[in-house]
């Protein structure tokens, strides 16, 4: 188990380094100059050149890459070009929105998706099963932003129960902050819950036909007890994999949802930073996201290995 | 799914219980704006989003531009100009303080202009102030500026956001903590979300009606619509024309349609064949049907223009009839230019609705005379680099929003690539002329030369279309300068 974990950790570190390389050099190739962007359409070439020098943009690429990497190792992500503030601080402030948003969405999708999947599996072939699966299919197909808009129209514009968007900082009014995240979390959770319901149903249906369920029934458990005690636990394995993968989708979804609900989250920060060519900010934020996604996958792998000892014997790819 | 609905119902019921729809305080206003400023120092960045928040609210200049584009006294209460137009003496207002409590005096004025003109300056419009040779402090409330040559627009230029007065004690932090002398002081900036200003008690002038103003950053049109309808924002200074219909005829809102300084043009690379041939440019001008573009790209809100000048300006002359829409004439001119079968070119379009839509309509209009356009969508940063900085383009659609920016055509290195010595001499004379009647005559000449030369395709002046709560008064209908001035905004019950 220790060896397995170690191997995974090394793989994790290599992935990050490669990602840093790719992010840095790809963004360097993007046309567009942050200095030109800041000074706009009437600036003289001299002013732009001066600002480039002030921002340290005229150093060779490999020097800037090494500097950036070395800074990050020490926790210094640099200073944003356009906002003139530390990148780490800017990202940290945004995580206060994006992290709870992703977690709420994850929780909602688990709390809604898994029970629905279990119910559908238990009522396999019945109307309820068909109904749930049709809904799940629809849930996957509906785009986040459109569902978000529908929620806004109903709960914010018509009923006026919840704000149509925006965010009050936690320390100012935590109730208002929470209320601001309800609709976006729902919009973000819908496709996730649908996927989870389908995966849970399929996994449970697979498990129900297996020997250990028959053994459990033979020991006198009812079908419901057998499924609940032995089936669900085994069916959770594929669900766990999906959950790990879903995190990446959630992160992608936040960009869209944060735009629809004008939330000051990480997704929107990256979106704006790209358009303004604030490359140092884009790089910092992207690396943070990649760390989050790869770390989640690493933890999923390890959790999987703990749940299913057979996996530890396999060599890690 | 029943469970989902129950869960939803529960969540809604819980939050509904906690929610009281906040009644708008009659002294506070929440304004939705599309773009968040990257920083809040108007003297170190060109983004209009900066001026929208700070101009005349947090910061003030020696002069200020009013709603009609006229120059009014600002931090300078009066001034005298020498006979030769080279020496300006400004009397400063007494008792003015910056929001951090420090006093405003002549030293701050000197500091401000030394900073603009200094070697490390990153002022986006340094060229406007380049003719200032010396700034001399006569006494704490008197400043003298000496120019190397007369500038007709000097008092206007002093009223721009680029020349607001900043203090040596605070200037370095203005990007994130702006400190000015205006009626509103900066309170907080939740990045990505909002900027909050509050009325500044010791303000030297007429106090503002509002106690607090919050700018909320909402980029998406549908979201802005919902935020207005839900009452979460009280108004926006410029709303997408394609969705204006939602608010017209709704008694809870007022739609303010006014003018801007944005000449929307089909910028043409005059240095690059075939556009270096005036016959080709004239053919393009005849191929353009302005009204069709205005109807399609601005839902009818733009005002047609025939040269690079704002229709609401008192020097304006209507030149839209110079090359009327005439397909046969366009074809004949192309044949005269040796291109009877037309030609192919690229049209680079920045990511704004008016440009993308205009581009598609222009492409179909040009196709009728044999000019085949390939539309290339670009981001802003790419547009600035390729088109503006490197002149790597054939055609582009863009709105030039600077007030009185016809002088750009006198710069042969500007991205239009227009090099006309006659025009350059004319602009030099205009810049050095302070007599109003003479200035008008010269401005009319300048407009006429550009129209006749068909330097660019002149399409329309962008409209400003504000949507506001019907109970709000005092917003600027027109936008003669970049900004959203809060001074006069108030609630009327």
> Which pLDDT tens digit goes with each residue over B443-464?
999 999 999 999 999 999 999 9
Kindly state the tokens that stand for B1: 């799914």
**pLDDT for B8:** 43
Of B275, B294, B297, the closest CA to residue B285 belongs to B275
In B34-100 the beta strands, taken as DSSP E runs, fall at 63-65, 71-73, 76-81, 87-92
Number of other residues whose CB lies within 10 A of the CB of residue A284: 27
- Residues A255-261: what's their mean pLDDT? 91
Tell me what pLDDT residue B177 has.
96
Closest partner CB to A50 (pick from B45, B122, B191): B122
A52 touches chain B (CB under 8 A): no
pLDDT at B5: 43
Q: Do B175 and A84 touch (CB under 8 A)?
A: yes
Which of B12, B193, B381 lies nearest to residue A276, judging by beta carbons?
A: B381
Which residue from A30, A41, A259 is facing B219, i.e. has the nearest CB? A259
For A17-31, A227-241, B235-249, which range has the lowest pLDDT when averaged over its residues? A227-241
* Residue among B8, B46, B230 whose CB faces A39 most closely: B46
Residue A314: the pLDDT is 55
Chain B residues close to A193, C-beta within 8 Å: 4
Taking an 8 Å cut-off on Cβ atoms, the answer to whether A39 and B124 are in contact is yes
pLDDT at A313: 60
Q: What token pair was written down for B392?
A: 């790597």
In this predicted model, what pLDDT tens digit does every residue of A123-169 receive, in sequence order? Answer: 888 999 999 999 999 998 998 889 999 999 999 999 999 999 999 99
Measured in angstroms, the CA of B348 and the nearest CA of chain A are apart by 14
Q: Do A31 and B382 touch (CB under 8 A)?
A: yes
Q: Which of B181, B118, B128, B135 is nearest to B157 (CA)?
A: B128
Alpha-carbon span B215 to B289, nearest angstrom:
38
This prediction's pTM: 0.88
Residue with tokens 């329309």: B460
- Asked if residue A162 lies in contact with residue A81, where contact means CB atoms within 8 angstroms, the answer is no
A239 inside 8 A of chain B by CB: no
Closest CA to B457 of B384, B385, B363, B374: B363
Cβ neighbours for A257, distance < 8 A, ≥ 6 positions apart: A101, A144, A145, A148, A184, A187, A188, A263, A267
Task: Report pLDDT for A247.
Answer: 76
- Select the more confidently predicted residue: B457 or A84: B457
Q: Which of A85, A193, A277 sits opposite B381 (nearest CB)?
A: A277
Place of tokens 């002093």: B158
| pLDDT score, position A290 | 87
Question: Alpha helices of B27-119 — where are they, by DSSP H?
Answer: 48-54, 106-117
All residues at 6 or more sequence positions from B78 whose CB lies less than 8 Å from its CB, including other chains = B90, B91
Residues found in chain A: 317
* Chain B CA closest to residue A93: B191
Q: What is the 3-state secondary structure (H, E, C) of chain A?
A: CHHHHHHHHHHHHHHHHHHHHHHHHHHHHCCCCHHHHHHHHHCCHHHHHHHHHHCCCCCCHHHHHHHHHHHHHCCCCCECCCCCCEHHHHHHHHHHHHHHHHHHHHHHHHHHHHHHHHHHHHCCCCHHHHHHHHHHHHHHHCCHHHHHHHHHHHHHHHCCCCCCCCCCCCCCCHHHHHHHHHHHHHHHHHHHHHHHHHHHHHHHHHHHCCHHHHHHHHCCCCHHHHHHHHHHHHHHHHHHHHHHHHHHHHHHHHHHHHHHCCCCCHHHHHHHHHHCCCHHHHHHHHHHHHHHHHHHHHHHHHHHHHHCCHHHHCCCC
Chain A partners of B47 at a C-beta cutoff of 8 Å?
38, 40
Cβ separation of B191 and A83 shorter than 8 Å?
A: yes
Total residue length of chain B = 493
- Say if residues B475 and B236 touch (Cβ distance below 8 Å): no
**A155 vs B12: CB contact, 8 Å cut-off?**
yes
- For residue A206, the model assigns a pLDDT of 86
Contact B126 A112 (CB under 8 A): no
Q: Say if residue A210's pLDDT is above 90.
A: no
Instruction: State whether A259 and B223 contact (CB < 8 Å).
Output: yes
Do residues A165 and A262 make contact, with C-beta atoms less than 8 angstroms apart? yes
In the predicted model, residues of chain B with pLDDT beneath 70 are 1-25
Cβ-defined contact of A82 to B38 (cutoff 8 Å)? yes
Q: Report the residue of chain A nearest B50, measured CA to CA.
A: A38
Chain B CB within 8 Å of residue A51 CB: yes
Closest CB to B226: pick one of A39, A43, A156.
A156
- Candidates B3, B157, B192: best to mutate against A (most CBs of A within 10 A) is B192
What are phi and psi for residue A50, nearest 5 degrees? -65, -45
């Amino acid at each position: 188990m220790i060896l397995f974990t170690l191997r995974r950790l090394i793989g994790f570190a290599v992935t990050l380094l490669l990602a840093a390389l790719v992010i840095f050099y790809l963004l360097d190739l993007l046309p567009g100059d942050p200095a030109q962007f800041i000074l706009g359409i009437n600036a003289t070439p001299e002013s732009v050149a001066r600002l480039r020098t002030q921002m340290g943009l005229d150093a060779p690429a490999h020097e800037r890459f090494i500097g950036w990497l070395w800074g990050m190792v020490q926790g210094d992500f640099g200073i944003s070009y356009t906002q003139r503030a530390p990148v780490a601080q800017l990202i940290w402030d945004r995580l206060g929105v994006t992290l709870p948003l992703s977690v709420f969405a994850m929780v909602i999708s688990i709390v809604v998706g898994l029970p629905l999947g279990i119910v559908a599996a238990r009522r396999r072939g019945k109307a309820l099963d068909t109904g749930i699966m049709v809904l799940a299919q629809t849930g996957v197909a509906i785009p986040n932003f459109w569902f978000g808009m529908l929620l806004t129209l109903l709960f914010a514009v018509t009923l006026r129960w919840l704000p149509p968007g925006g965010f009050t900082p936690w320390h100012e009014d935590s109730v208002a902050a929470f209320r601001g995240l309800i609709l976006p979390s729902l919009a973000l959770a819908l496709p996730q819950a649908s996927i989870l319901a389908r995966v849970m149903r399929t996994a449970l249906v697979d498990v129900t036909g297996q020997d250990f369920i028959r053994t459990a029934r033979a020991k006198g458990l009812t079908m419901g007890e057998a499924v609940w005690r032995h089936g669900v636990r085994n069916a959770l394995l594929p669900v766990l994999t999906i959950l790990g993968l879903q995190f990446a989708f959630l992160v992608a979804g936040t960009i869209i949802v944060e735009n629809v609900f004008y939330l000051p989250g990480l997704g929107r920060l990256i979106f704006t930073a790209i358009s303004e060519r604030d490359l140092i900010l884009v790089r910092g934020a992207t690396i943070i996201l990649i760390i989050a996604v790869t770390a989640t996958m690493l933890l999923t792998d390890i959790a999987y290995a703990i749940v299913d000892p057979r996996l530890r014997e396999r060599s890690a790819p | 799914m029943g469970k989902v609905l129950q869960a939803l119902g529960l969540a809604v019921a819980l939050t509904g219980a906690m929610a009281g729809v906040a009644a708008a305080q009659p002294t506070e206003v929440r304004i939705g704006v599309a773009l968040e400023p990257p920083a809040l120092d108007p003297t170190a960045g060109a983004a209009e989003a900066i001026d929208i928040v700070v101009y005349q609210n947090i910061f003030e200049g020696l002069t200020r531009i009013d709603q009609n584009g006229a120059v009014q006294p600002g931090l300078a209460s009066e001034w005298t100009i020498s006979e030769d137009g080279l020496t300006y003496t400004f009397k400063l207002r007494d008792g003015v303080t910056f929001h951090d409590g420090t006093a405003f005096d002549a030293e701050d004025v000197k500091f401000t202009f030394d900073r603009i003109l200094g070697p490390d300056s990153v002022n986006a419009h340094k060229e406007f102030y380049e003719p200032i040779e010396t700034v001399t402090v006569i006494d704490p409330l008197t400043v003298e500026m000496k120019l190397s040559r007369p500038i007709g627009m000097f008092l206007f230029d002093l009223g721009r956001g680029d020349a607001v007065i900043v203090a040596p004690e605070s200037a370095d932090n203005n990007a994130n903590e702006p400190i000015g002398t205006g009626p509103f002081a900066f309170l907080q900036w939740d990045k990505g979300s909002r900027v909050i200003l509050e009325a500044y008690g010791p303000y030297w002038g007429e106090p503002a009606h509002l106690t607090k103003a919050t700018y909320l950053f909402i980029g998406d049109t549908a979201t802005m619509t919902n935020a207005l309808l839900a009452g979460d924002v009280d108004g926006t200074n410029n709303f997408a024309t394609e969705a204006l219909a939602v608010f017209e005829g709704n008694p809870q809102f007022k739609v303010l349609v006014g003018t801007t300084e944005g000449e929307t043009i089909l910028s043409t690379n005059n240095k690059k064949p075939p556009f270096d041939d005036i016959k080709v440019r004239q053919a393009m001008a005849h191929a353009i049907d302005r009204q069709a573009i205005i109807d399609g790209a601005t839902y009818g809100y733009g005002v047609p223009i025939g040269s690079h000048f704002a229709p609401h300006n008192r020097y304006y002359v209507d030149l839209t009839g110079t090359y009327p829409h005439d397909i046969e004439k366009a074809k004949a001119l192309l044949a005269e230019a040796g291109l009877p079968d037309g030609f192919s070119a690229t049209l680079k379009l920045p990511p704004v609705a008016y440009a993308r839509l205009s581009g598609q309509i222009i492409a179909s209009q040009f196709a009728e005379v044999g000019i085949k356009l390939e539309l290339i969508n670009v981001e802003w940063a790419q547009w600035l680099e390729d088109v503006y900085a490197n002149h790597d383009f054939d055609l582009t659609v863009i709105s030039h929003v600077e007030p009185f920016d016809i002088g750009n055509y006198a710069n042969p290195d500007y991205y239009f690539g227009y090099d006309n010595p006659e025009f350059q001499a004319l602009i030099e004379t205009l810049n050095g002329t302070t007599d109003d009647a003479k200035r008008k005559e010269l401005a009319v000449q300048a407009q006429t030369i550009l129209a006749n030369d068909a330097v660019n395709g002149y399409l329309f002046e962008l409209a400003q279309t504000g949507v506001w709560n019907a109970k709000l008064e005092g917003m600027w209908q027109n936008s003669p300068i970049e900004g959203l001035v809060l001074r006069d905004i108030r609630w009327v019950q």
